[in-house]
Amino acid sequence: MASLSELVEEARLSARALLDYGEGLFNPTIRLGVTGLSRAGKTVFITALVHGLTRGGRFPVFESLASGRIAKARLAPQPDDAVPRFAYEEHLRTLVEERRWPNSTVDISELRLVIDYQRHNGAERTLTLDIVDYPGEWLLDLPLLNKTYEEWSAESLALARAGPRTELAAPFQAHLATLDPLAGENEQATLIAARLFTDYLRACRDDRFAMSLLPPGRFLMPGNLAGSPALTFAPLDLPEGSAPDRSLWAMMVRRFEAYKDIVVRPFFRDHFSRLDRQIVLVDALSAFNAGPEALHDLEAAMAGILDCFRIGRGTILSTLFRPRVDRILFAATKADHLHHLSHDRLEDVLRRTVGQAVARSELAGAAVDVVALAAVRATREALVQRGRDKLPSILGTPAKGELANGEAFDGETEVATFPGDLPTDLDGLFEGGAFRGLSTDAADKADFRFLRFRPPLLERNGAEEPPLPHIRLDRALQFLIGDRLQ
């Protein structure tokens, strides 16, 4: 049975959908969700996409642009008054002028792009593309909407007691052992528990472990809610039964529910549930760097998130009352860390990682595809002589401070690296011991080592702004919006 609050929520979603639908009749619009966990590459992707469309990038596979049917793509004032505009110009300048990647995103933002194009039959048309960017941490919270405090508590503690997480959670566990859920409310003990739990989540996110499943997301990125009760709770070891009045347990339940009401539901309602199309960016290579556990964790996190999508091709009636995502592209980002011979293999790994979600989306009638891409290609390829062999290698400028073979790079020198081949046998990939990563071995023993490269140095040709190099970004665009530009 749906609870009253769920019904109210449904009604609000429908009212919103009706508004969006009415606007869409006069002004064809796609709301594109660029989804992905923290550091997956969302902000870089949006910047590259907007740059490519407005400036006319080299996009041979994006048919409407390549064939000259797109007359112009321009930025327009974004439609939601309460949402900041995506800082496109700033991100672009950082990438191109400073050769730095943009900072991690701390708040939601939005950008509207208007595309003037000619249909195949010659008619002049306009398509509006609204793109939403947000911190990846927020995404991790969506699965909490379907969970009670007790369920979340049990899951979080089971996770904290498995694999490499055990050690990272030790200080939190020690404090947890001193807490009695049935005892009275205790603000001080709760503050300490929340702080230690946050420390543990932060440690899991470190490059060496690269864990993905780390809710509640706002613990890692509290913004203006830092220190508020809604962000001050932690899992408890709970007995059977229900929480006695005024107990520590009851206090945690209340705060967990407040977190959902204040933080998670508004994000879902105002942004996530309104999307028409999704590109889900996945940084599989960082997980490879860290080891099989990280890959496994990524798989679980993606499955949980994809459960929250509203997927399927709607009839006119059902789209009226329930917006649905009818196209989803899963994209493995940062493919420029691999030689192109491995790109198809990276797609295979991704297909395996999100396999269940793909099957379910297809069943619901959505079009689904998988691609390995680099929104901004930071490397070039070369064959490098090693003894008698010529190895397919990657040339790029590692970021300052990146380490390889005990050497720290200065951020200026270009080097050739051999990143390692992705395995062909995917069956054993997700099992412990399948390959070695940074979470269990020293850097020189790990099977894969993907360095962080600086954005590419672009050759300017007169006053004209140079296009950003990319890998398969045009294929992504063709799938995401190509059908609406016919």
The contact set with Mg ion (CB under 5 A) reads 42-43, 105
Q: Token pair 């543990």 is at which residue? A: 200
CB of 96 to ligand GTP, least distance (A): 14
Judged by beta carbon, residue 5 or residue 104, the one nearer ligand GTP is 104
Give the contact letters, 359-388, x = binds to ligand GTP (CB under 6 A), - = no: ---------------xxx-x----------
Tell which residue, 395, 304, 323, has the closest CA to residue 366. 323
Q: Which stretch binds ligand GTP (CB under 6 A): 101-109, 157-165, 414-422, 460-468?
A: 101-109
Distance CA 45, CA 229 (A): 35
Among 333, 353, 397, 439, binds ligand GTP (CB under 6 A): 333
For the purposes of burial, counting CB atoms within 10 Å of the CB of 375, is it exposed (0-12), middle (13-18) or buried (19 or more)? buried
CB of 24 to ligand GTP, least distance (A): 27
Q: State yes or no: residue 217 binds ligand GTP (CB under 6 A).
A: no
Judged by beta carbon, residue 328 or residue 375, the one nearer ligand GTP is 375
Structure tokens at 19: 């508004």
Q: State yes or no: residue 452 binds ligand GTP (CB under 6 A).
A: yes
CB of 383 to ligand GTP, least distance (A): 20
Judged by beta carbon, residue 135 or residue 437, the one nearer ligand GTP is 135
Chain residues 129-148 in contact with ligand GTP, contact rule CB under 6 A: 135-136
**Cα-based angle 217, 218, 224 (whole degrees, multiple of 5):** 160
Q: Which stretch binds ligand GTP (CB under 6 A): 57-65, 155-163, 232-240, 329-337?
A: 329-337
Q: Which stretch binds ligand GTP (CB under 6 A): 36-44, 123-131, 361-369, 433-441?
A: 36-44
Q: Token pair 């590459």 is at which residue? A: 41
In sequence order, the 6+-apart residues with CB closer than 8 A to the CB of 379 are 336, 337, 394, 395, 396, 453, 456
Of all residues in the shown chain, the one whose CB is closest to Mg ion is: 105
Render the burial of 341-352: b for 16+ CB within 10 Å, e for the rest. ebbebbbbbbbb
Q: Where are the beta strands (DSSP E) in 337-481?
A: 367-372, 380-386, 389-396, 403-404, 407-408, 415-417
Among 165, 218, 334, 339, binds ligand GTP (CB under 6 A): 334
Judged by beta carbon, residue 106 or residue 174, the one nearer Mg ion is 106
Q: Does the CA dihedral 8-11-15-16 come out positive or negative?
A: positive
Q: Which stretch binds ligand GTP (CB under 6 A): 154-162, 330-338, 363-371, 436-444?
A: 330-338
Judged by beta carbon, residue 34 or residue 485, the one nearer ligand GTP is 34
Residue 398 burial (CB count, 10 A): 23
SS3 labels along 182-226: CCECCHHHHHHHHHHHHHHHHHHHCCCCCCCCCCCHHHHCCHHHC
Q: State yes or no: residue 474 binds ligand GTP (CB under 6 A).
A: no
Q: Is the peptide bond before 419 cis (omega within 30 degrees of 0)?
A: no
CB of 282 to ligand GTP, least distance (A): 10
DSSP-H helix ranges across 59-210: 63-66, 88-96, 136-139, 149-160, 165-168, 170-176, 187-205
Q: State yes or no: residue 42 binds ligand GTP (CB under 6 A).
A: yes
Judged by beta carbon, residue 117 or residue 450, the one nearer ligand GTP is 450
Secondary structure letter of residue 262 according to DSSP = I
Judged by beta carbon, residue 86 or residue 200, the one nearer ligand GTP is 86
Among 169, 453, 476, 485, binds ligand GTP (CB under 6 A): 453
Q: State yes or no: residue 38 binds ligand GTP (CB under 6 A).
A: yes
Judged by beta carbon, residue 29 or residue 43, the one nearer Mg ion is 43
Residues forming a β-bridge with 130:
31, 112
Which helix (H) or strand (E) segment holds residue 124: the answer is strand 124-133
Judged by beta carbon, residue 198 or residue 319, the one nearer ligand GTP is 198
Q: State yes or no: residue 222 binds ligand GTP (CB under 6 A).
A: no
Which helix (H) or strand (E) segment holds residue 292: the answer is helix 292-306
Which residues contact ligand GTP (rule: CB under 6 A)? 36, 38-44, 101-102, 104-105, 135-136, 333-334, 336-337, 374-376, 378, 452-453
